[in-house]
Amino acid sequence: MRRFVSNLLAVAYKEARVLRHDRAVMSSILVQPIVMLFLFGWAISNTPRNVPWLVLDRSETAVSRRFVGDIQATGYFQPPVRTASYDDGRQRLRRGEALALLVVPERFARDAAQGGARVQLLLDGSDPLTAARVGAAIGRVGSLFATDARAVAVAARGGPIALRQRFRFNPTLHDGTFYLSVLGVILLTNLCLSASSLGLVGERESGTYEQMLALPTTPLEIVLGKLLPHVVVSYGVLILATLLSGFVFGFWPAGNFVTLCVVALPFILASLGIGVFVSAIANTSAQAVFISVFFIMPSFVLSGLMMPYEFMPHPVREIGAVTPTRWFQIASRQIVTRGAGFLDVLGPYLVLWGMFAVTVLAIRWRMKPRLG
């Protein structure tokens, strides 16, 4: 028994010394709690803020402008964007440019003075929690809005303004729509960032890295050759996620699945490229795993996969914008829930290709082209 304990403590002492000198792992262990505290204590919130919204004011009176101003004064919304027509507002809502469209009728001022005003509110229901909270915030303003003494008396019985809410893209506010629309994004983010992060460092640990560099190939050819099998596997995962969502829950993409696959290509390449870059800067497999966590966690938390990124403070929103997941989840939700076409998601598509180009340059800078 004493020999067993002695050997056990000797091995533990040796591993502790190795771990103590592994600066990458130790830094990750110390920094990770701070990052988690920052994310869950400040950055993540379900309270509406910075909500983009549209206003179609057909009344164009001081009363309607004051009503819009009262909504803006709640602090939940960005400055309203005026829209010229109902169809234009619906198209902007479909493209994801806003989360809500407020329609104020022509007789709003007269009806409000008589205690019977009505307004229409179109909400993006693809995120049920956001739609419900935004609708409740505007409804509270309507219930407290009063134009004169008579309206104040009416407000005491329930409010002079009746809010007619309609939810687009998810009329029943089914929670599964919010997550199933990005199920493929979630799976691909985890797969791409974790699968490729051990490639180069594994070659280095096995002693075949120098042999690979000695081949008559360029670093770009090496990187793309390592990524190609993962690209095929990633498309298989995307197809499987779509089929399972359809057959099990009856949730099929509203848009063209081919468009989704086209937009997925630069996302898969950019995510795999980040994993290869992590593998290039890490000295051991353990370091690669710990470093990849710092890419996977922000990709899930700050990109808008689990909760709307519009609710996050501005510095945090900008951090999330540098992750490929942010842009692919925007494109995926527009295609799957809103039936968007390729031109509607052209912006995220080009951003993803730019991110892939940056990762390739970073990998090329990190890798030595030849021995010596």
pLDDT of residue 148: 45
pLDDT of residue 129: 77
**Residue 199 pLDDT more than 50?**
yes
pLDDT of residue 316: 77
The pLDDT-based confidence of 155 (bands split at 50, 70, 90) is very low
Mean pLDDT on 252-269: 93
The pLDDT-based confidence of 268 (bands split at 50, 70, 90) is very high
**Residue 102 pLDDT more than 70?**
yes
Residue type for position 180? L
Give the integer Cα–Cα distance in Å for 96 and 351: 17
The pLDDT-based confidence of 19 (bands split at 50, 70, 90) is low
Model-level pTM?
A: 0.74
8 Å CB contact between 199 and 148: no
Mean pLDDT on 183-195: 86
**Residue 36 pLDDT more than 80?**
no
Give the integer Cα–Cα distance in Å for 13 and 109: 79
Give the integer Cα–Cα distance in Å for 185 and 189: 6
Bigger pLDDT: 34 vs 133: 133
Least confident of 13-27, 94-108, 313-327: 13-27
pLDDT tens for each residue of 334-346 = 999 888 889 989 9
pLDDT of residue 371: 41
pLDDT of residue 158: 39
Mean pLDDT on 317-334: 89
Average pLDDT value over all residues in the chain: 79
pLDDT tens for each residue of 287-314 = 777 778 777 877 888 888 877 777 777 7
**Residue 81 pLDDT more than 60?**
yes
What is 53-173's CATH superfamily? abc type-2 transporter like domain (3.40.1710.10)
Of the chain, the percentage scoring pLDDT greater than 90 comes to: 16
- The CATH 3.40.1710.10 portion of the chain extends over 53-173
pLDDT of residue 262: 95
The pLDDT-based confidence of 204 (bands split at 50, 70, 90) is low
Q: CA neighbours within 13 Å on the CB side: how many for 311?
A: 20
pLDDT of residue 349: 95
